[in-house]
Amino acid sequence: MAVLKVKFTKTKRDKLAQVLWVLNWISVVTGLILFSLGLFLKVELEKRRELMAERELHSVPNMLITVGLIACAINFLGGKICYDCVDTNKFLRWKLVMLPYIILTFFFTLCILVGALMCYSMRGELEEALVVGLQDAMRFYKDTDTPGRCFLKRTVDLLQIQFQCCGNTGHRDWFQIQWVSNRYLDMSCKEVVDRIRSNVEGKYLMDGVPFSCCNVNSPRPCIQYQITNNSAHYNYDYQSEELNLWKRGCRQALLEYYTMPNEPRLSLYPLPLLLQLSVLTGVRYLQTALENVLRQGDPECESDGYLLETSLAETCSKPLYYKLLSSNEGATST
């Protein structure tokens, strides 16, 4: 017994074909949007790869690019098929293609579903990559003479200035690492030597931050050294006064940069899924309705359309190649 059988008149079949033609072209546009979004993410992630840990972050933009291109191709073909299906005679050209096209669309719809889940899991992976990547970049900030790391000071400074951020989670992150190279420390100074010796790891730690942490909007000259020492600065209270440093951590700033502008677009990601499901269902109804018209031999007659010719259990028990073979044989005999 056919599953979800619907009766179609000639007018209803034509309207269904026209609606599917429109849906296919809307899907082509959404495919282009997904492609452009994936391209944007790929370029932006590549621009700041030195600030991120080695993780498979490019899987999401690559998936968006691939899904976008396939969506354009499949729905362009689907639009052509549906446009021709308004004429029963033209449908004969596509009869052998319809079932493989439906099967391909079905698997592509599953890929879109997987892609949607990947998009929503991207924020967590991105945050983990930024935590480790920014920690390493800050740790190597002082290594301006080390090949392969000499660019990190400039990169971190530009990052903090451009995104108005400081440290990984905040300015206190700089207190926990040595960000001044030993090359610029006066080892003849007792205070410097004592500070290094007082640290278990032999690092020169201080309550200071790089110049790029300074908030340019602050009316007070930037206090970037001895930040926690109230007596070192006039009319200054570290606990109560608003520091003239950027408040945000760079991890938060980068997360907002990558996710917030794209959240409205990523929230539309289920739209291609809904469109593909609609197209898949509609094309299946159109295919079965038109095949029944051919069997009856009257283009103006009513015909039945359905999703499955038999019950779901019987359909699943048949091998896929058998269904294709029987469909092709039916088309040949027609």
How confident is the model over 28-37, as pLDDT tens digits?
Answer: 888 888 888 8
Asked, for residue 93, whether it belongs to a domain, the answer is yes
Distance CA 142, CA 292 (A): 76
Residues 246 and 166 in one domain: yes
Share of the chain above pLDDT 90, in %: 14
Kindly tell me if the per-residue pLDDT of 2 is higher than 70. no
Q: What is the pLDDT of residues 122-166, one digit of tens each?
A: 777 888 888 889 999 999 999 888 888 888 999 999 999 999 999
Asked, for residue 111, whether it belongs to a domain, the answer is yes
Residues 244 and 314 in one domain: no
Asked, for residue 324, whether it belongs to a domain, the answer is yes
Q: 236 in helix, strand or coil?
A: coil
Residues 183 and 239 in one domain: yes
Q: What is the pLDDT of residues 170-185, one digit of tens each?
A: 999 999 999 998 888 8
Q: If you average pLDDT over residues 109-131, what whole number do you get?
A: 78
Residues 30 and 100 in one domain: yes
Residue 329: the pLDDT is: 45
Q: If you average pLDDT over residues 66-83, what whole number do you get?
A: 87
Residue 269: the pLDDT is: 59
Asked, for residue 186, whether it belongs to a domain, the answer is yes
Q: What's the structural domain count of the chain?
A: 2
Asked, for residue 77, whether it belongs to a domain, the answer is yes
DSSP letters of 90-153?
HHHHHHHHHHHHHHHHHHHHHHHHHHHHHHHHHHHHHHHHHHHHHHHHHHTTT-TTSTTTTTHH
- Give the pLDDT band (50/70/90) at residue 263: low
Domain termination residue (choose one: 231, 258, 285): 258
- Give the pLDDT band (50/70/90) at residue 332: very low
Share of the chain above pLDDT 70, in %: 85
Residues 251 and 273 in one domain: no
Asked, for residue 73, whether it belongs to a domain, the answer is yes
Residues 143 and 251 in one domain: yes
CA–CA distances in Å: residue 143 to residues 58, 134, 137, 152, 180: 28, 15, 10, 8, 9
Domain termination residue (choose one: 258, 284, 302): 258
Residue 310: the pLDDT is: 61
Residues 252 and 271 in one domain: no
Average pLDDT of the chain is: 81
Distance CA 210, CA 273 (A): 48
Pairing assessment for the beta strands 303-305 and 6-8 based on DSSP bridges: antiparallel
Residues 216 and 287 in one domain: no
Asked, for residue 128, whether it belongs to a domain, the answer is no
Residues 186 and 109 in one domain: no
Kindly tell me if the per-residue pLDDT of 206 is higher than 80. yes
Question: Contact at 8 Å (CB) between 110 and 73?
Answer: no
Residues 229 and 317 in one domain: no
Residues 228 and 307 in one domain: no
- For the chain, how long is the longest CA-to-CA vector? 103
Asked, for residue 134, whether it belongs to a domain, the answer is no
| Domain boundaries, position 61 | 6-123+267-333
Domain termination residue (choose one: 223, 240, 258): 258
Q: What is the pLDDT of residues 287-324, one digit of tens each?
A: 888 888 878 777 777 777 777 766 555 555 555 444 44
Residues 254 and 173 in one domain: yes
Kindly tell me if the per-residue pLDDT of 110 is higher than 50. yes
Residue 261: the pLDDT is: 53
Q: Write b or e for each residue in 17-50: b if 16 or more Cβ atoms lie within 10 A of its Cβ, otherwise e.
A: beebbebbbbbbebbebbbebbebbbeebeebee
